Structure 1
Amino acid sequence: MTRIVVLPNENLCPEGAVVEAEPGESVCRALLRNHIEIEHACEMSCACTTCHVIVREGYDSMGEPDELEDDYLDKAWGLEPDSRLSCQAIVADEDLVVEIPRYTINMVSERH
C-alpha cells in the first residue's frame, strides 16, 4: 500500500489526513474511498478541473500527464508545476503528499 498524506484543507479535511492507496488506483478514488469528498464534477472522466491537486512530494513516481489532462490543467485555479487532476494521477509505489487547493472552478456545481 502507498500512503497519501493530504495537507490540511479548510473545508475537506481541516486536520489533514493520511490515507492508504493501492498502486494503480487514482488519487481521487483513494481520497473518496477514505471519506475526503474532493469534487469530481465529471465523474473522473478527465473533462473538468474540479479534482485538481498539487503533488508536493512524489510527483515523479506517477506517469506523466497526457495531452488532455494538460489541456484541462491549463484551466485550473491555482495551477502550479506539480499540479495534477487527481482522477488521472495514478498512484505508484512511492508515498505522496498532496494539497487540495482552496478553490476550484466548477461551472455545473449543484451545491449552492
Structure 2
Amino acid sequence: MATVRFNAHGRTWDVEVPVGTTLLGASKRADAPEGDACGGVCGCSTCHVYVVKGRDLLSDAEEDEEDILDKAFDVRANSRLGCQARIDKDGEVEVEITRESLDAFYNEHPQVPDPRKAR
C-alpha cells in the first residue's frame, strides 16, 4: 500500500491506495479536488499536479503525458498528470494540486463550494 497526501488551499487529504493506482484514482478515493475533464484518458491537462515527495515511487512519464503537459499552465520539473502517474511502489507520495486542476474541479462540480472564493 502507498499513502498519498494531497495539498490544496491550505487543506490536506490523506489516503491509502494499492500499488497500481493512479494519482487521479487516489484523489477520487480521498475526495480531493483534482480535476479530470477528459475522464482521465490523457486528453487534457486538468489533472495536472506537482509531486512534492515520492516521485521515485511513480511510473515514468511517457510521451503522451509529456505532450499534454506542454499545454498545461505553470509546468514545473515535478509536474505530472494525475491520470498518468501510477504508483509503482509502496511508500509515501505528497502532491500539490495545481490551480489549473482546482479551477477545473470546481467548474466540473458546481455543487461543491470553492473555498478559494469569498462567501
Where on the TM-score scale, by shorter chain, does this alignment land: which range? 0.7 to 0.9
Kindly report structure 1 stretches of 4+ aligned residues shifted beyond 4 Å: 109-112
How many residues align? The count is 106
User: 3-state SS of the aligned residue for 2:39?
Assistant: coil
Tell me the distance in 2 between the aligned counterparts of 1:86 and 1:33.
13
Relative to its length, the structure with more strand (as a share) is: 2
Structure-2 change in CA distance of 1:15 and 1:110 (3 Å): closer
Whether 1:41 and 2:37 are equivalent positions in the alignment is yes
Deviations 1:58-93 (A, max 9, x none): 112212111000000111111111111000110121
- Unaligned stretches of 5+ in structure 1? none
Tell me the distance in 1 between the aligned counterparts of 2:45 and 2:2.
24
Q: Shift of residue 110 of structure 1?
A: 5.6
Counterpart of 1:85 in structure 2 is: 81
- Unaligned stretches of 5+ in structure 2? 111-119
Question: Percent identity at matched positions?
Answer: 34
Q: Select the residue among 92, 95, 117 that pairs with 1:95.
A: 92
CA RMSD of aligned residues (A): 1.8
Q: TM-score, normalised by structure 2?
A: 0.80
Whether 1:52 and 2:12 are equivalent positions in the alignment is no
Counterpart of 1:75 in structure 2 is: 71
